[in-house]
Structure 1
Amino acid sequence: MERSRLLECLAADVARLREVAASDLTAAVPSCPGWTVADLVRHVAEVYLHKVECMRLNAFPDPWPPADLESVAPIELLNRAYAELTGEFAARGAADPSRTWHEPDQTVGFWIRRMAQETVIHRLDAELALGVPVAPIPDDLAVDGIDEVLKLFVGYGSHAWVEDFQPVLAGAEGRTVIVGVDGGPGWLLRTGVTGADVSDVDPAAAASTSVDATVSGSAAGVLRWLWSRESPGVSDAQAEGDEATLVELRNLLVASTQ
């Protein structure tokens, strides 16, 4: 996605997060057990400020977070953090250097994408916590989010931090999953004891590819399934095939995103 489009989505989702959260900061967040909406908002704000420091220092800030952030009210902290984040983005080119956790991409552009995707997931958290209608997720943002969580979190992460994934992959048997968007792109995931490999797959070829399981649906539905952010009793994604493979995929997603 283009930088300008990612920033547009980021702006819309942080506004929605702020609007929903302000109605009840004490509500429990079912998709983040143990958190209230206040905790959720504070987390997003602290993530924004952490990325600001990653760009300013070109290094991970340590120690983190600063103790003085606790004294700032959650919504106030979110507003401050978003202003600092977007100000930092505006002052830098997407190709400018910044420390990130993805070694192949040490640029500001990585954080622009990551913060847009971080925010859409957490505004879903707020909507689920308050039981309000979920605002639409644009198809382009959802497809980009699917690509990010599969290739970066699962694919890259499982190879970069093998020890964190060993409980999930120790007994991996080369299981395969195709994740596909209705009328759109697809991804092939194959697991092994040393990590999960993720590649693009042509949608036409996907139908004739023999795999152990599939996850498919609308772009927003698949994104929500991958992040376990589905509304209670409602799903716009279908997970079919070998149950052990689907359990392994779910465990991989949990290991890579928590």
Structure 2
Amino acid sequence: MKIRTSTLRELKNKGIRFAALTSYDMHTASIFDAAGIEVLLVGDSASDNVLANQGTAPITLDEMIPFGKAVARSAQNSLVVFDLPFGSYEVSSEQALITSIRAMKETGAAAVKLEGAKIDQISRIVDNGIPVMGHVGFTPQTLHGLAGYKVQGRDQENADRLMSECLAIQKAGAFAIVLEMIPAALAKEISIALEIPTIGIGAGSDCDGQILVWQDFAGLGERSPKFAKKYLSLRESLQAAAVEYRSEVQNGSFPAIDQQF
């Protein structure tokens, strides 16, 4: 079944949770799509998980476009969402719209995502027919402004602010909101208050959906955040396979007869 933005709303209304993963290439996109993952996010997390940058801020739109193309071309059913990188939408609603149009035209993605309560930007993009996913709580692009990797909304004042931001983002026309690194109780309150689905990452189990960076999910990185569960130990498996391959090359057992012409 082809997943659309309206599908996520239908799932929320039925009380059915859905899954999302990041993806930046054809292989993970096709595998996760075949597994039934409802949402694939071409995340700016490619910055530190693919391009070896420190954090998400350095990646550019030009660098992200090829990732978006690969994922959108490879996913048959999953909803592909393109993450607008830092610096490509903050200046004005016009800048946000121009960036979103380019992202949609060049990648074939079905929606865009942006961080923060950028209400004017969200409204402008939505008004021009492009679906928008919001993102509040810990917003990696503004890591330095948040003074590091800190859970957001612990005190009542900031909890109230996050709730207000989510309601404003919903009113602006977003079809879903990512809640990152906020207390589980607050995420539950927001999820109940909103008509649109919430997608948690470090926000407890009561969100309508969950998302993980695929390298964290698969155990490919050297370390993973507290909120991530490793469903594989892919880094260990790949390293062991590489060691075995090198050994067979050295001792002459690869290529064997059945690998030769």
TM-score class, shorter: under 0.3
Query: TM-score, normalization: structure 2?
Result: 0.27
Query: TM-score, normalization: structure 1?
Result: 0.27
Larger Rg: 2
Larger % of helix: which?
1
